[in-house]
Amino acid sequence: MHEFSLVESILTSVFDVARQHGNPPVTRVKLEVGALQQVVPEALEFAFNAAVKGTSAEGAVLDWTEIPARIQCPACHATYEPADVFWVCPNCEAQGGKAIAGDDIVLASVELEDGESGQGVQ
Partner 1 sequence: MEINVVEKVMKVNDELAQGVRERLAKAGVVGLNFISAPGSGKTTLIETALRNLGGAPRIAVIEGDPDTTLDAERIAACGAPVTQVNTAGGCHLEANLVNRALDGFDLEQIDLMIIENVGNLVCPVSFDLGEEKRVAVVSTTEGHDKPAKYPKLFRTAHVVVLNKIDLLPYVDFNRDIFRDSLEKLQPGVEVIEVSCTSGEGVEAWCDWLRRAGKG
Where along the sequence are the contacts to partner 1 (CB under 8 A)?
1-2, 5-6, 9-10, 12-13, 17, 21, 28, 31, 36-38, 74, 85-88, 95-96, 104-114
Long-range contacts, stretch 53-59, CB < 8 angstroms, 24+ apart: 55/11, 55/15, 56/15, 56/18, 56/23, 56/24, 56/25, 56/26, 57/11, 57/14, 57/15, 57/18, 57/25, 57/26, 57/29, 59/27
Task: Report the nearest approach of partner 1 to the CB of residue 117 (Å).
Answer: 9
Task: Report the nearest approach of partner 1 to the CB of residue 8 (Å).
Answer: 9
Task: Report the nearest approach of partner 1 to the CB of residue 53 (Å).
Answer: 20
Task: Report the nearest approach of partner 1 to the CB of residue 15 (Å).
Answer: 12
Output 58 or 109, the one with its CB closest to partner 1. Answer: 109
Output 53 or 86, the one with its CB closest to partner 1. Answer: 86
Q: Specify whether the CB–CB gap between 15 and 112 falls below 8 A.
A: no
List the one residue out of 36, 19, 18 whose CA is nearest residue 27: 18
Output 19 or 58, the one with its CB closest to partner 1. Answer: 19
